[in-house]
Structure 1
Amino acid sequence: MHYVSVAVCAGILVASVASAPVSAQTTVKRSPEEMRASYDAHKGDFDYLLGDWEFTAESKEYGKFRGLWSAVRLEGGQILDEYRVLGDNGDTMYMTTSLRNYNRALDRWELVGLDAGNGIQDIGTGRRVGSEMQIEQKFGVTTDKPSLWKIRYYDIAPDRFFWSADRSTDGGKTWVSKHQTIEARRIGPPRSFGALATGKKSTQSTPQAADPISGNWGSDDQTFLELKLDANNAVSGTAIWRDGSSQETRGPIKTGTFNPRTGAIRLEGEAKRPDTGATASYVIEGKLEKDTLAGTFTFDDRKGNFSFTRK
């Protein structure tokens, strides 16, 4: 894909990010119980999108292209995602973000596409229909070529999904079917951003949204793993072993790997036993699911299970 074609179609490709219907708001009031039930039923509708994806796409107007797509859950449950089109050499040719938030009073998702400099104009709404997410959204509102898109996410699975959009440039009078299509494949596990203002000093040097592993992991206000993930998905750091609450030893991780596609992690090293002082080998195997790292460990003759969250 050449830069000129991407620049020309920037207002079009933004549609790949956001989604939703721009219908008028209903005035029917819903009870607190109804709103709570709707929120509980639909707050996870976009969970499939969380994580990191690579995609291939085709537009009837601009041909084939590829890119990366990442989404995180914010502390309040909103979904923030970034959609990035890559050129032939892997350079970023176009990037946009979108914010998705469920409206329990109107029983629908509401979305906005955020291109640099376009304000908050490209809005839409979306609903789950069976196994699909269906969205209607306006794009290019501030340009001389506004358009309306009907978007479907379908054949959704843990490691892939498909996306198809019909487009209208005359306010919905006529439509171009499958104007743009996307096939996305997972390359990183689901993740959340966490709180921005926590009220205490962060112990992480890497933002949680940008790195699913690096940081301190533990339970009950105690840290058991200090991890650092590099660009090759190798994991280094320290495993902390305790005998009750008084004795503690630290063992460097000699070999550590993380699979961003499956969320699996394996750590190996040696440490002194906190009860005897003898040096012994350990193996820690687990899986990252959302915000929890859980699995099993073997340390000398000790075996057990663990479930940690990031501090």
Structure 2
Amino acid sequence: MSEPRAIDLDPEIASFVRLAEGLGQIDASAVPLETLRESARALRLPWNDGGPTMAATREMELEGLRCRLHQPVSTDALEPATIYLHGGGWTLLDIDTHDNLARRLALESGRPVMLVDYPRAPESSFPLPLLRLQDFIAELTRRSADFGLAKSFALCGDSAGANLALALALMLRDAAENNLRALGLIYGSYVDRYDSPSHRAFGGGDLPLSTARMRWFWDNYVPNAAERGDPLASPLHADLTGLPPVMMTIAQYDILYDENIAVADRLGAAGNELSVRVYPGTVHGFVEAAGAVGAVIAERAIHDMGKFLRHQIGNHE
């Protein structure tokens, strides 16, 4: 693998990048989808060994979606939870590949975290995953006490999961009953555009996410290019007023850096309570490096997000 251009990677993140060596250069369109899914899953499953022990973990299915509830402490009180939506370009990965991250987030926030296996593209393209998640949230809210949860909750996600989380926040904002109290967005994809300086600088395939792979992901999720301007598909185009407090985690050396900064600017201009943190020397996917290589900067980012969630949803019932 050639050294990334004009990039000063955090040493532990550089080790993480080497674990994924060559993945950004694979022509996804030339490889069977199930082979890609199996390879991506096999790479990450060892990163999910160990990690924080939970007071309780519950496997379940709700609205036809597989989900897992991690509870970091035992309590008789109804606790507000964070619903976590995993990354993977709407196409790859699942709740098992993000289990370590979810447990760490539960520990740092002191609150339950619910992982959800939403329907993946291209079998389920836009807007079906959003509609299924909307039904999931409605049912979880209706039955919250059955799971020891309060009706109020946070949404958090990374990459494609952050896109879905922001789109769901917009849908909930416009709903009659909205129990969303906080929104955590980790290096999300928010627009179908590839001409930004960060795409040009970091998209060649030396790093875990390439421009070619991002195009493939968008082709899977929104195959009808005419629909990609829909604000629920590309939230950068949305009216971003009236959202709950937001925290954005941004990687310095990420093809999605510029669109993340653009969304942050628009969220702030819309009057939302907003915290933005850019982590130096990091790449797309870097929070997974906490489980993969014990990267301190990844652990710090999870701690920061957990602290935000603890503060924002801790006082709501």
* TM-score normalised per structure 1: 0.23
Structure with more of its chain in strand, by fraction: 1
If asked which structure has higher relative contact order (CA below 8 Å, sep 6+), I would say 2
Structure with more of its chain in helix, by fraction: 2
